[in-house]
A and B are shown apart, each in its own frame.
Chain A
Amino acid sequence: MMVDTTQKSNVKLHVLERFREVNSTFPKTSHLLDYKRSGNKVFGWLCTYSPEEIMHAAGILPIRIIGYSQEAELDDGNAYLYVNSCSFSRSCLQLGLGGGYDFLDGVVGGSTCDGARRLFDLWRNYIGTPFYHVLTVPRKYTEKAHALYYHEVAQFKQHLEEFLGSKIADEALYESIKLYNESRKLLRQLYDLRKLDDPPITGAETMEVSNASFRMPKEIFNRWLKDLLEEISASGNTHTGRSRLMLIGSVLTNPEFIKSIEDQGGLVVADELCTGTRYWGDPVVLDETKSPLEAISRRYLNNFPCARMFPSDERFNRIIDFIQDFRVEGVISQIIRYCVPYCHDLPLLTKRLKALGIPILALDVEYGTSGSGQIQTRVQAFLEMLEAKRK
C-alpha cells in the first residue's frame, strides 16, 4: 500500500518545540524546579477527578503524576504492585520510588479505579509525601451523587486549608476557574482545527500540547498555546491522511504511539483519552445559584467520563458525538493490560459502533508503548480495511 506523499512540506512550529522541551524534562522541568526554589508548593494529582482549581487557588502548583513516557523496566513497580496491576500504576510507582517526584509537597487523587487506589496505598507507605488526600468519587451522576462529591470536594478544601494554615477565598477560586477555563477554551480551539479536511496539526503534535498542559503552570501554558495557535494559523501547514481516526481507551502519554499510526497514513483527529479530551473536556460553568466550589464539583463529576462511571452509555454517547463532530471513519481502542473498566466496556461499545457502521480496532498495550511491529501491522490492516470500505 502506497502512502500519499504528495503533501507539501510543512514549516516547523517553534512553540511546539517549547512544549516538547517541557515534556522531555518532566517531572523535573525548569518551571517546577524554579517554582520550588521560590518557596512555593507543588502537588501531584492522579486521575481527572482531582479538582485542580482548589489547589491552584491555594497558591499550589498542581501537576499530574504520570509514569515514564516510554515503555520501561518496572522491576520495583512489579515487586510492590505485583505484575497484575496495570503498567500505568506500576510505572508511576517505579518513577516515584526512584525519586522522580521527590519534590512534591502533596499527592491528591480519587477512588477512581483499583490501580489508582492501590498506587496511593503504596505511595503513602513507601514514598510518603507531606500531604495526602483521596477523594471518594461516586460512580453515578444522580443528584445524590453530586451532593456526595460536593461534600468530598469541600472536605478536601478544608483539609488543604488545615495543612496550609490559611483559608482559600472564593475570589481566589473564581480567579483559578477563569484561568483553567481559559486553558480549556484554548485546547478546544486547538482540537477544533482537527475538524478540517486537512488539519494543520497532527494527532502526535496535539498530544505534545495536551501533555504539557498538565505538567506546567497554566499561566505560562495559556500564553504559549495562544502563541502556538497564531503560529499554526500563519504556517499554512496541512496534513492529509488515508482515514480519519479517533483514539480511545486507557491513559496514554507517548506521542510516538500516535505518530506510529500517523506514519502509516492514519490521521488521528480526535480522542477520548484522559490525557486529551477527557482532561480539558468541559469548562466549569458559573452561575448565580452556585458557589464556586459547587460549580467545580459539578464540573468534575459531570466531565467527559472515565469507563469507571455508570451508566456506560454516558461515555459511549460522548464518543459517538465526537465521531460525528470530527467525521471519524474508524476508532482505535488502546487498552492497557489490566485496565479493567475499559476492558468491560469494550464489547458494549463495539456493539454500539457496529450499529453505526464505525469499525473499531482493539489493541492491548502496555503503558508507554510507542507502537510495536505487531501493532503497526494491525493498524495497517485496519487502514486498508477502512479504505476498502469506502470504495
Chain B
Amino acid sequence: MKTLGIDIGSLTTKVVIFENGSILSSVITASGDEPEAVAKEAVRSALRRAGSSFNDDIYIVSTGVGRKSISFSQQQKAITTCLARGVYYLCPSARMVIDIGAESTTVVKLNDRGRVRDWANHDKCAAGTGIFLQQMAKLMQVPVEEMSKLSLQAKSGVEITSTCAVFTESEVISHIHREPPTPKQEIVAGIYLSVISRIMALCKRIGIEKDVALSGGVALNSGVVNTLEKEIGFGVLVPDTPQLVAALGGAILAEENVEKGSN
C-alpha cells in the first residue's frame, strides 16, 4: 500500500509518496491562501507521478503548521516527529537535525531508531528563519541565490550585534547607506553569521550532537551551510532535497501505521 506525507508550511506545501521503503514521487508547491485546495492539487499531482490516484486506498499523514487545516489526512503528526523519521531515512547517522523553515527554526535530537529525544524551536522570533533571509535579500536588492555566492567572497563579515530581526534590519540599512557603503559581500556574510548565531543558541539549549543534518529550503543555500559549518566546527549533512524531509517523515510514519494496523 502506498502512503503519503504532506508537510503544509507557511510558504510551501510538500508531498512525498512512499511505498515499500522507497520514495515514489514528490511535489513542492506554494501554500497560498487556500491550503485545502492547494494541498489536494499537490497530492493529486504527486499521485499522478506515482501512477496512482485519489481513489486508491492510500494512508495520508499531514504535518507542518497547516497540518490541521486539511480534511483528508488520516493522521496529523508534529513536525518534530516527522523531521526525525525523515532525516533518519535520508541520513541514518544523523543525531540532530536543524530545520530552517520559512517562519520558524526547529532543532530536533533523535536516537538511533529515528525517534525524537528532545527538541527546541524559535516560535516568537523571526531572526534566523527563511523569510528573514528573503527580507534581507530584498533590502540588499540582491537575489537570494546571489547572496549565497556573495557571502562566500567575504573576508570576515560585518558584525551585526542585534539579535532581533527588526533591529538587524536597521543595522543593515545603516551599513548600506554608510559613506562609503560597507561592501555587499561583507554585509551578507554578517547577516548569515547573525542567523547562524541565533540557530547555534537554539542548538546549545538542547546540546549539539553529531552527526548534524540540515533540512528546509534554506539548506540549499551554500552560503548559510558554509557559515554554519564554520561556527559549529565540523561538516554537516545536507540531503538532496532538504525541503522534503518532514513530508517524507510523514509518509514513513504513515507506512508504520499501516503495518501496525495490518498486524
Give me the interface of A with B, judged by CB distance under 8 Å: 73, 75-76, 78-79
Bound together, the chains give a CA A75 to CA B206 distance in angstroms of 11
Using CB atoms, name the residue of chain B closest to A82.
B205
| A contact residues around B207 at 8 Å (CB) | 79
The stretch of B16-24, B135-143, B196-204 in contact with A is: B196-204
- Could you tell me if B197 and A73 are in contact, using CB atoms closer than 8 angstroms? yes
Residues of B within 8 A of A (CB): 197, 200-201, 204-205, 207
Task: State how many angstroms separate the Cβ of A361 from the closest Cβ of chain B.
Answer: 24
Residues of B within 8 A of A78 (CB): 201, 204-205
Interface residues of A, dominant DSSP: helix
SS of B interface (majority): helix
Q: How far is the CA of A78 from the CA of B206 in the complex (A)?
A: 11
B96 to chain A, nearest CB (A): 14
Alpha-carbon distance between A196 and B243 when the two chains are bound, in angstroms: 69
A56: shortest Cβ distance to chain B, in Å?
38
User: In angstroms, how far is the closest chain A Cβ from the Cβ of B37?
Assistant: 42
A75 to B200 Cα, complex, angstroms? 8
CB distance from B105 to the nearest CB of A (A): 15
Total residue contacts A-B, CB cutoff 8 A = 13
Complex contact A76–B204 (CB within 8 A): yes
What would 7 more interface pairs be, CB under 8 Å, given A75-B201, A78-B205, A79-B205? A73-B197, A75-B197, A76-B204, A78-B201, A78-B204, A79-B201, A79-B204
CA distance A383 to B204 in the complex (A): 43
Separation of A78 and B201 alpha carbons in the complex (Å): 8
CB contacts (< 8 Å) of A76 on chain B: these are: 204
What separation, in Å, do the CA atoms of A76 and B205 have in the docked complex?
A: 8
A366 CB, nearest partner CB in chain B, Å: 12
Bound complex: CA A75 to CA B204 (Å): 7
Which partner residue on chain A sits nearest B207 by CB separation?
A: A79
Contacting residues, chain A, for B197 (C-beta < 8 A): 73, 75
Q: How far is the CB of B157 from chain A (nearest CB, A)?
A: 15
- Of A73, A76, A79, most buried by chain B (CB within 10 Å of CB) is A79
A79 CA / B205 CA spacing, docked (Å): 5
Question: How far does the alpha carbon of A78 sit from the alpha carbon of B202 in the complex, in Å?
Answer: 10
Cα-based distance from A78 to B200 in the complex (angstroms): 12
Closest B-chain residue to A73, C-beta based?
Answer: B197
Question: CA separation between A208 and B204, bound complex, in Å?
Answer: 34
Most buried by B among A73, A75, A78: A75
Roughly how many angstroms separate A75 CA and B199 CA in the complex, as a whole number? 10
Nearest opposing residue in chain B for A80, CB measure? B204
13 A-B pairs within 8 Å (CB atoms) are namely A73-B197, A75-B197, A75-B200, A75-B201, A75-B204, A76-B204, A78-B201, A78-B204, A78-B205, A79-B201, A79-B204, A79-B205, A79-B207
Nearest-CB distance from A372 to chain B (Å)? 10
Chain A neighbourhood of B200, CB < 8 A: 75
Residue of A nearest to B197 (CB): A73
Q: Which B residue's beta carbon lies closest to that of A78?
A: B201
Residue of B nearest to A71 (CB): B161
Minimum Cβ distance to chain B for residue A367 (Å): 16
Residues from chain B with a CB closer than 8 A to the CB of A75 are: 197, 200-201, 204
